[in-house]
Copies of this chain bind each other. A is one copy, B any other.
């Protein structure tokens, strides 16, 4: 399928006004990247640092910011908007809507739906899905093949569950959410009382509560709370294979990349980002707008917005081996440095006494007396 350039700007004009420069009848048959685009591809320039690639691009049309308008016009057709990346996102949504329209809602005959479940209008339910008693499925919800929806669970209007999603008893998903295959929402939290060398299970009596416009990646797990609910607020986005422990609260519009893990009872603010493979320990609190780098471990509460990192820099293995071995003596090295500084100060002081006695002066300005490390914070 193809779209004319003018159709694209027209169909999105209610969301974003845009200036189209070039032939409005140009046919677009693919969305692509700046480098890979051909004469019937539409692409975008999101960051000035790629400006150098713009002139070389063979794209039929490029979405650009006003600041790149002149350069873009010199190259060829362009769509000029305030925020090209956002506009491109809207184009992808338009593209998907037109190219892969959702199927006519239907409930597959093989699905097992308890008569005491409530199914809204326009709901799609795939093959072999199971929906238990008391579940409530909102208008226009799509439930993929093989999903298992527990008793008294609820799904808000317009949400889409891909195949093989598990939503356990009593858990609630808001509106317009997207849940990818294999996600498990509402398995038991990991709670045990140690007793006599064994682990005694603490039954997990809370549930999971998920806001609107949340997206949850494939095989990601959100545990139910021990006593109260685990909560994901509106607009949270979780990538694949993320683990959210029991009683965690993730604030609105926070996002976590793949393989991240948040241990039980942590509270993460709004508009945070957690990088791939990062771990947040239990019972900690992250303020709003905290950004944790990939593969970093949050071992203390981060009460100030900001960007935090903790990972060992990668290196040639041989260099790493030497530095890692030395790292295990680092505290001792610090003590040796302190001792060296003290000894040096003593020699300097002695030298000074001699100078007062008329001996030779310091030959270098750099040889200022060392400050006493005991005055330094953390020394």
- CB neighbours (8 Å) of A235 from chain B are 198-199
**A164 CB contact (under 8 Å) in B148, B261, B336:** B148
Question: Mask for A192-206, Cβ within 8 A of B = 1, else 0?
Answer: 111101111111110
Question: Mask for A266-304, Cβ within 8 A of B = 1, else 0?
Answer: 000001000011010100000000001111111110100
Chain A: number of interface residues, binned into ranges? 35 or more
- CB neighbours (8 Å) of A83 from chain B are 193, 195
Say yes or no: A349-B334 contact (C-beta < 8 A), given A198-B235, A370-B343.
Answer: no
Question: Mask for A341-376, Cβ within 8 A of B = 1, else 0?
Answer: 111111111110110010110111011111001001
Bound: A311/B312 CA distance, A: 5
Cβ-based interface call for A221 (8 A): yes
What number of copies of this chain does the assembly contain? 3
Whether A323 lies near B330 (C-beta < 8 A) is yes
> How far is the CB of A120 from the nearest CB of chain B, in Å?
22
**A309 CB contact (under 8 Å) in B188, B317, B326:** B317
Whether A317 lies near B307 (C-beta < 8 A) is yes
**A330 CB contact (under 8 Å) in B88, B182, B228, B327:** B327
Whether A340 lies near B339 (C-beta < 8 A) is no
Whether B317 lies near A308 (C-beta < 8 A) is yes
